[in-house]
């Protein structure tokens, strides 16, 4: 351990990959969370509670179970997997986009619940006033609901990014651990410990702790 050599390129590669995956997945899951939360707070339909329960399942399921379901759904033998490979000439699994997809699924419940809570906190009378002067539903969303729930939206985005940054189980199942291609900080730490590269694992752990602390600090400041 004392003679352990740390290559800084090896250190930065998973860090940058994690940030890359977190950036794209957090944007997608944020927009998806807004759309779904808006629909679910406006519509009443039979089986709504079942649909919402399905949305929240990734929050309580083991990430490996989520990863297995994703692997079956987007693998080369699935309809979607074959379609993707036909269009892009390579499979979706074991790419960084598969890591993005895994992060989206895992982060969605947290982002959705945060945004939904923000939407429900907006005064309904203000929304009705906007409708009474001729505003369409999308205008009520953009000019009333979104501005008045800005704190919840910021918190949702940051929490989504933080959750994507720390995703491990589902990512490992669908994206693997290919250095420079799909290796993120959590998977890199796992491999480093297995290879007895403790110093490198500590560096990645420290980087994750620092980034996560700063993100949660931002959430705390926005919620107070």
Using one digit for the tens of pLDDT, what is the confidence trace for 128-170?
999 999 889 889 999 999 999 999 999 999 999 999 988 998 9
Kindly report, residue by residue over 166-180, the tens digit of the pLDDT.
899 899 999 988 888
| Alpha-carbon radius of gyration of the chain | 20
Tell me what the mean pLDDT of segment 99-120 comes to. Answer: 95
Domains along the sequence of the chain with CATH? 8-42+50-113+149-222 (1.10.3720.10)
Is pLDDT of 189 > 80?
yes
Residue 10: pLDDT band (50, 70, 90) is: confident
Residue 2: pLDDT band (50, 70, 90) is: very low
Looking at residue 1, what is its pLDDT?
46
Count of beta carbons in the 10 Å neighbourhood of residue 4: 12
Distance CA 195, CA 199 (A): 11
Tell me what the mean pLDDT of segment 189-203 comes to. Answer: 89
Q: If we measure between CA atoms, which residue out of 167, 166, 200 comes closest to residue 11? A: 200
Q: Are 123 and 161 in contact (CB under 8 A)?
A: no
Tell me what the mean pLDDT of segment 51-63 comes to. Answer: 92
pTM beyond 0.95, yes or no? no
């Amino acid at each position: 351990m004392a003679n352990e050599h740390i290559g800084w390129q090896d250190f930065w590669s998973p860090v940058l990959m994690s940030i890359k995956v977190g950036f794209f997945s957090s944007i997608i899951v944020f927009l998806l969370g807004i759309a779904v939360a808006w629909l679910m707070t406006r519509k009443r339909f039979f089986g709504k509670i079942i649909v919402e329960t399905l949305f929240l399942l990734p929050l309580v399921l083991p990430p490996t179970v989520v990863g297995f379901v994703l692997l079956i759904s987007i693998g080369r033998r699935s309809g979607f997997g074959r379609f993707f490979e036909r269009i892009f000439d390579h499979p979706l699994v074991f790419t960084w986009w598969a890591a993005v997809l895994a992060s989206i699924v895992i982060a969605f419940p947290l982002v959705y619940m945060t945004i939904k809570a923000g939407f429900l906190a907006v005064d309904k009378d203000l929304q009705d006033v906007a409708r009474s002067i001729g505003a369409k539903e999308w205008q009520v969303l953009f000019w009333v609901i979104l501005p008045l729930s800005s704190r919840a939206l910021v918190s949702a985005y940051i929490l989504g990014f933080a959750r994507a940054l720390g995703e491990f189980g589902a990512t490992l199942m669908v994206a693997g651990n290919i250095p420079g291609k799909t290796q993120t900080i959590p998977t890199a730490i796992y491999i480093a410990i297995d290879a007895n590269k403790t110093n490198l694992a500590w560096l990645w752990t420290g980087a994750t702790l620092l980034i996560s602390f700063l993100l949660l600090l931002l959430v705390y400041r926005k919620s107070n």
